[in-house]
Structure 1
Amino acid sequence: MTFSVAFNWIIALFSLVPFIRFGDDWKKSLQLPPKDTRVRTSDVTSTKGNEFEDYCLKRELLMGIFEMGWEKPSPIQEESIPIALSGRDILARAKNGTGKSGAYLIPMLERIDLKKDYIQAIVMVPTRELALQVSQISIQISKHLGGVKVMATTGGTNLRDDIMRLDETVHVVIATPGRILDLIKKGVAKVDRVQMMVMDEADKLLSQDFVVLIEDIISFLGKGRQILLYSATFPISVQKFMAKHLHKPYEINLMEELTLKGITQYYAYVTERQKVHCLNTLFSRLQINQSIIFCNSTQRVELLAKKITQLGYSCFYIHAKMMQEYRNRVFHDFRNGLCRNLVCTDLFTRGIDIQAVNVVINFDFPKNAETYLHRIGRSGRFGHLGLAINLITSEDRFNLKSIEDQLVTDIKPIPGSIDKSLYVAEFHATNPNCGALELLNW
Structure 2
Amino acid sequence: MATRMENAGPAVMGLNTHNRQFVGQPKAPSQLGPQTASPQPMGTQKPETNAFQAGPGIRFGDDWKRSLQLPSKDTRVKTSDVTATKGNEFEDYCLKRELLMGIFEMGWEKPSPIQEESIPIALSGRDILARAKNGTGKSGAYLIPLLERIDMKKDHIQAIVMVPTRELALQVSQISIQISKHLGGVKVMATTGGTNLRDDIMRLDETVHVVIATPGRILDLIKKGIAKVDKVQMMVMDEADKLLSRDFVVLIEDIIGFLAKNRQILLYSATFPISVQTFMAKHLQKPYEINLMEELTLKGITQYYAYVTERQKVHCLNTLFSRLQINQSIIFCNSTQRVELLAKKITQLGYSCFYIHAKMMQEYRNRVFHDFRNGLCRNLVCTDLFTRGIDIQAVNVVINFDFPRNAETYLHRIGRSGRYGHLGLAINLITAEDRFNLKTIEDQLVTDIKPIPGSIDKSLYVAEFHSVDPDCEDEAEAEAEVFKPAGGSDAL
Q: TM-score range by the shorter chain?
A: over 0.9
SS at match of 1:66: helix
What's the offset of the Cα at 1:298?
0.1
What is aligned with 2:103?
A: 65
For 2:371 and 2:309, the matched residues in 1 are separated by 33
CA contact (8 A) 1:124 1:177 kept: yes
Q: Distance in 2 between matches of 1:392 and 1:433?
A: 40
Q: Scaled by the length of structure 1, what TM-score is found?
A: 0.92
Q: Distance in 1 between matches of 2:216 and 2:56?
A: 43
- CA 1:415/1:166 → structure 2, altered by over 3 Å: closer, same or farther? same
User: 1:15, 1:21 within 8 Å by CA — same for their partners in 2?
Assistant: no
Q: Is the 8 A contact 1:204 1:210 kept in 2?
A: yes
Instruction: Kindly provide the CA deviation profile for residues 228-279 of structure 1, in whole angstroms up to 9, marking residues without a partner as x.
Output: 0000000001000000000100000000000000000000000000000000
Deviation of residue 201 (structure 1)?
A: 0.1
The separation in 1 between residues aligned to 2:448 and 2:55, in whole angstroms, is 56
| 8 A Cα contact 1:291 1:361, kept in partner | yes
Specify which of 247, 262, 269 is matched with residue 231 of structure 1: 269
Give the Cα separation in 2 of the matches to 1:156 and 1:433.
25
Q: Secondary structure at the match of 1:433?
A: helix
Q: Deviations over 1:7-62 (max 9, x none)?
A: xxxxxxx9998952454311001010000000000000000000000000000000
Q: Deviations over 1:61-82 (max 9, x none)?
A: 0000000000000000000000
Contact 1:294 1:362 in 2 (8 A): yes
Cα shift at 1:417: 1.3
Q: 1:146 aligns with which of 179, 184, 191?
A: 184
Offset of residue 416 of structure 1: 1.4
1:403 aligned residue = 441
Whether contact under 8 Å (2:74, 2:465) holds in the other structure is no
Task: Quote the offset at 1:178 in angstroms.
Answer: 0.1
- What's the RMSD between the two structures over aligned residues? 4.1
Partner Cα separation in structure 2 for residue 238 and residue 157 of structure 1: 30
Q: Which deviations, in whole Å up to 9, do the C-alpha atoms of 1:282-334 show, x marking residues without a partner?
A: 00000000000000000000000000000000000000000100000000000
Residue 208 of structure 1 aligns to a residue in which SS?
coil
Query: 1:421, 1:429 within 8 Å by CA — same for their partners in 2?
Result: no
Change in Cα spacing, 1:392 to 1:17, as seen in structure 2 (3 Å) is: closer
What stretches of structure 1 move > 2 A for 4+ residues in a row? 14-24, 426-434
**417 and 225 in structure 1: CA distance in 2 versus 1, 3 angstrom threshold:** same
* Contact 1:290–1:357 under 8 Å retained in 2: yes
The 1:432–1:321 alpha-carbon spacing in structure 2 relative to 1, beyond 3 Å, is closer
CA contact (8 A) 2:55 2:184 kept: no
- Could you list the runs of 5+ residues in structure 1 that have no partner in the other structure? 1-13, 435-442
Change (3 A) 1:190 1:307: same
Report deviation, 1:390: 0.0
- CA spacing shift, 1:425–1:19, aligned 2, 3 Å: farther
* Structure 1 residues 58-112: Cα deviation after superposition (integer angstroms, max 9, x where no partner): 0000000000000000000000000000000000000000000000000000000
User: Whole-Å Cα distance in 2 between the matches of residues 180 and 340 of structure 1?
Assistant: 34
| SS of 1:116 mapped into structure 2 | coil
Q: Is contact 1:420-1:427 (8 Å) kept?
A: no
C-alpha distance after superposition, 1:166-206 (max 9, x if no partner): 00000000000000000000000000000000000000000
Report SS of the residue matched to 1:417.
coil
Check 1:273–1:112 CA distance in 2 against 1; reply closer, same or farther (3 A cut): same
Structure 2 length as normaliser, TM-score? Answer: 0.83
Deviation at 1:426, TM superposition (A): 3.6
Report the Cα distance in structure 1 between the residues aligned to 2:411 and 2:61, rounded to whole angstroms: 49
When structure 1 is superposed on structure 2, of 22-31 and 48-57 the one drifting more is 22-31
Q: Deviations over 1:101-155 (max 9, x none)?
A: 0000000000000010000000000000000000000000000101000000000
Secondary structure of the structure 1 residue equivalent to 2:471: coil
1:427 positional shift: 11
| Distance in 2 between residues matched to 1:315 and 1:52, nearest whole Å | 39
- Count, aligned residues: 421
Structure 1 54/262 Cα, relative in aligned 2: closer, same or farther at 3 Å? Answer: same
Q: What 5-or-longer segments of structure 2 have no aligned partner?
A: 1-51, 473-492
Q: After superposition, give the CA deviation of every residue in 1:322-375 in whole Å (9 maximum; x if it has no partner).
A: 010000000000000000000000000000000000000000000000000000
Asked which structure has the greater CA Rg, the reply is 1
CA distance, structure 2, for counterparts of residue 137 and residue 427 of structure 1 = 19
Question: Judging changes above 3 Å, is the alpha-carbon distance between structure 1 residues 255 and 430 closer, same or farther for their aligned structure 2 residues?
Answer: closer
Whether contact under 8 Å (2:305, 2:449) holds in the other structure is: yes
Inter-partner Cα distance in structure 2 for 1:15 and 1:222: 36
Q: Which moved more, 1:412-421 or 1:260-269?
A: 412-421
Structure-2 separation of matches of 1:430 and 1:29: 17
Residues 226, 16 of structure 1: CA spacing in aligned structure 2 closer, same or farther, 3 A cutoff?
closer
Q: Give 1:416's aligned residue.
A: 454
Instruction: Report the CA distance shift for 1:207/1:113 in structure 2 as closer, same or farther (over 3 A).
Output: same
Provide closer, same or farther for how the CA distance between residues 289 and 67 of structure 1 changes in structure 2, counting only shifts above 3 A: same
CA separation of 1:431 and 1:287: change in aligned 2, threshold 3 A: farther
Structure-1 separation of matches of 2:180 and 2:422:
26
